[in-house]
Amino acid sequence: MAHHENAPFEIHVHGQVALRPDVTHAQLQEALKPLWKYAGARSLVDGAQSHYEEEPGLLMDAQEHLLQMCWTVPGDDDFRQALDEMCMNLNEISLQGAAIEVTFYDSEFDEEEAPNGQESRDDFLVLFVGPSPAAIMQVQRDLLVQDVINLMERHFDASELDGVVKEIDRLFNQRFDALVNSLEIGKPPRGLGGGHGSHGGGRKPRHLH
């Protein structure tokens, strides 16, 4: 695919994924192929550089077994398909659950010149990857708890929020049990995101208070 000269969006991918210790550069290159191929590159080395020089791009820390992403590409809505494929690939090589933030910046929108009432098409999404649905639920749960506590601490002391955290855990336990009892055990329920994976031996997400 060629570079997107007049792309309607600048798309920024940001996140950190812990990889299994046995993952090779070749496996990571294959997992990230939807991204570098979309950018018009022929390999990960060629496509790892961000559209913006000051961003580190797509980096593998071989010692820490970490994939670090801070990478921008010009693109269109069809990039979402590349993201879906990347998530399914990363599920296969990830060590634990991780969240990946993706921001679509409307590169054609000019606030000063836009007609009244016209809004930019900016969009923001969080994708979840992990070796199993349990690992994905764990990171979803942790992120939700963090967001809810940050919001509620404006009104309540942190020590008063135990009941709220317990209720979030109850909801995730309910969802996990539904997953384990489902006939389609390999397919996460709607809203789980990040493609499918094996269910990790039926371990429930751990709860961190």
Q: Do 23 and 57 reside in the same domain of the chain? A: yes
Q: Do 30 and 113 reside in the same domain of the chain? A: yes
At residue 106, the 3 state secondary structure works out as: strand
pLDDT in tens, 122-140: 899 999 999 998 899 999 9
Q: What percent of the chain shows pLDDT beyond 70?
A: 80
Residue 183 pLDDT greater than 60, yes or no: no
Q: Do 118 and 138 reside in the same domain of the chain? A: no
Alpha carbon distance 49, 52 (integer Å): 8
Q: Provide the strand spans (E) within 3-108.
A: 9-18, 57-61, 66-75, 98-106
Whether residue 2 lies inside any domain: the answer is: no
Q: Do 141 and 121 reside in the same domain of the chain? A: no
Using CB atoms within 10 A of its CB, is residue 167 exposed (0-12), middle (13-18) or buried (19+)?
exposed
Using CB atoms within 10 A of its CB, is residue 8 exposed (0-12), middle (13-18) or buried (19+)?
middle
pLDDT in tens, 159-177: 899 999 999 999 988 888 8
Whether residue 94 lies inside any domain: the answer is: yes
Residue 101 pLDDT greater than 90, yes or no: yes
Alpha carbon distance 172, 165 (integer Å): 11
Q: Are 27 and 67 in contact (CB under 8 A)?
A: no
Q: Which of 102, 129, 156 is the last residue of a domain?
A: 129
pLDDT at 197: 39
Q: Do 79 and 115 reside in the same domain of the chain? A: yes
Residue 113 pLDDT greater than 80, yes or no: no
Alpha carbon distance 69, 57 (integer Å): 6
Q: Do 125 and 144 reside in the same domain of the chain? A: no
pLDDT at 2: 46
Q: List the CATH number of the domain containing 35.
A: 3.30.70
Confidence band, pLDDT 50/70/90 cuts, at residue 148: very high
Structural domain of 107: 9-129
Q: Do 116 and 47 reside in the same domain of the chain? A: yes
Confidence band, pLDDT 50/70/90 cuts, at residue 6: confident
Q: Do 116 and 36 reside in the same domain of the chain? A: yes
pLDDT in tens, 39-89: 999 999 999 999 999 999 999 998 999 999 999 999 999 999 999 999 999
Q: Do 73 and 27 reside in the same domain of the chain? A: yes
Our count of domains for the chain comes to: 2
Q: Which of 129, 145, 161 is the last residue of a domain?
A: 129
Q: Do 20 and 123 reside in the same domain of the chain? A: yes
Alpha carbon distance 138, 181 (integer Å): 18
